[in-house]
Homo-oligomer: A and B are copies of this chain.
Amino acid sequence: MQLDPELDLQLVRELNAPRELLYKCWTTPEHLVHWFVPKPHKVTHCSLDVRPGGACNTTFEVEGNLMENNGVYLEVIPNEKLVFTDGYTAGWKPAPEPFMTAIVTFEDLGGGRTRYTATARHRNPDTAKAHKDMGFYDGWGTVATQLETYAQGLKA
């Protein structure tokens, strides 16, 4: 993927867990709630319909406030790739001001390891900058570590 430094943010990590397991953690609500936001924040609700146009809805509790994140999946390649966005809600209803589109890929590195790449694409430089300033790298990095730890617990 060719990145645009003004529009795209990307995190690449090698995780010590097989990609099938990471994909399962990403696509199963009972698993996702355990690692999807940096602790001590919580996911209080999660509803996933993992197909193009299917809902990808979560609610976070951050310092006592509930934040609803409603979106849809755009592309689903089992064990390899997930694309989702807040730019639509179910039924392909466009959001007035889309924030980002996330592309998550899982590459098998052999030996039960995975190259995990999370890319956030934005529609203009201001939105990308806002996302960076909100702590994209720290946030998504912490979450990648939480995902790895959680997946290893499932594997054991």
Contact = CB atoms under 8 A, between A and B. Distances in A.
Contacts of A96: 123-124
Nearest to A81: B53
Nearest to A100: B94
Interface in A109-145: 121-124
Contacts of A124: 96
A4 B91 CA distance: 12
A74 interface: yes
A92 B87 contact: no
Interface residues of A, number: 27
A37 B94 CA distance: 24
A48 interface: no
Nearest to A91: B1
Interface in A41-85: 52-53, 74-75, 83, 85
A94 B121 contact: yes
A75 B93 contact: no
A75 B122 CA distance: 21
Interface of A: 1-2, 4, 7, 52-53, 74-75, 83, 85, 87-88, 91-98, 100-101, 103, 121-124
Which are the 4 A-B pairs with shortest beta-carbon distances? A94-B123, A52-B52, A53-B75, A52-B75
